[in-house]
Amino acid sequence: MTCFGDGWDALSLSEIAQQTGLSTGGAQRITHTLTQLGYLRKDARTRRYRPSPRMLEFTYQFMRASPLYEVAIPVVIGLRDETQETVNVSLLDQTDAVVLIRMPSQRRINPSSVIGRRIPAWAVSTGRAILSRLSEEEARAIIDAADLEVLTPRTETDPDRLLDLIAEARAEGFALVEEQSVLGEISLAAPIIDGAGRPIAALGITTSTAYWTPDSLRERLAPLVMRAANTVSRSLQGWKEF
């Protein structure tokens, strides 16, 4: 299922085999099973496959099973209403930040990040905020494993510099990122900590460089973001991710 997305709306059997590295026969068996289960749809005319709405069940089930989602939603709504900016909660999965909650502002909706979207953790404030609460060894291992691709002309891809920025976030209590993954976008995030003292997510604000500078974001929004993240963390003190 991961071969769909990023511009791939519907795929032929040969394209699925190419994207996944499977043989044509292997791809055919898997697509047949997923179609029978209702997770894929096959166009009878074009013979191309696309995900079906049943895939949304996984999102629903994950959210229902997540104490983080239940606890964070009212905090996210409150911060969005207070700041009139887009508020996100993201999780760390390997080297990516995965969007769990996104509450958009009314004045600006950025379609680059939607629920379930994976973004390189090292290039976004939520990802760096989570990395800042890991040990230096853990953070370095994730940076070393990441594909440090250039996403914008301002993307920082030097591993040592990224680790320095993560260390700065560790000292300040929040991560601030400007135009690292999307031009014109600036964001600030703080980590969410579980009952074991581990960073399980980060809560952040994403906005436009047309409205905010790094200094104004740091001065006016950082205290609000850290307060919101701490509120969620306190509610999770009796819960451990593993």
Q: What is the mean pLDDT of the chain?
A: 88
Count of beta carbons in the 10 Å neighbourhood of residue 151: 17
Instruction: Locate 101 and state its tokens.
Output: 């909650």
Range with the poorest average pLDDT among 172-181, 210-219, 229-238: 229-238
Q: Give the residue-averaged pLDDT of 142-152.
A: 95
In whole angstroms, what is the distance from residue 43 CA to residue 145 CA? 38
What percentage of the chain exceeds 70 in pLDDT?
Answer: 90
- β-bridge partners, 89: 101, 203
Measured distance CA(156)–CA(149) in Å, rounded: 9
Q: Which helix (H) or strand (E) holds 47?
A: none
- Measure the CA–CA gap between 61 and 71, rounded to whole angstroms: 16
Q: Which residues sit opposite 193 in a β-bridge?
A: 199
Q: Are 103 and 113 in contact (CB under 8 A)?
A: no
Q: CA angle 130-132-134, nearest 5°?
A: 80
Answer yes or no: is pLDDT of 31 > 80.
yes
Q: What is the DSSP letter of 221?
A: I
* pLDDT tens string 156-210: 999 999 999 999 999 999 999 999 999 999 999 999 999 889 999 999 999 999 9
Average pLDDT of the segment spanning 109-117 = 67
Angle between helices 67-83 and 222-235 (to 10 degrees): 160
Question: Is the Cβ–Cβ distance between 189 and 129 less than 8 Å?
Answer: yes
- pLDDT confidence of residue 206: 95
- Tokens for 172? 């300040």
How far, in Å, are 31, 55, 58, 172 from residue 52 at the CA level? 12, 6, 12, 44
User: Does the pLDDT of residue 7 top 90, yes or no?
Assistant: no
Q: Can you give 147-182 as a three-state secondary structure string?
A: CCCCCCCCCCCCHHHHHHHHHHHHHHCCEEEECCCC
Percent share of the chain, pLDDT over 90: 61
Grade residue 215 by pLDDT with cuts at 50, 70 and 90. Answer: very high
Domains and CATH numbers, the chain: 13-55 (1.10.10.10), 66-235 (3.30.450.40)
DSSP state of 119: E
pLDDT, tens only, 42-100: 888 888 888 887 776 776 677 776 789 899 999 999 999 999 999 999 999 999 999 99
Q: Is the pLDDT of residue 111 over 70?
A: no
Classify 236 as helix, strand or coil. Answer: coil
Quick one: tokens of 201?
């997510």
The pLDDT score that the predictor gives to residue 242 is: 42
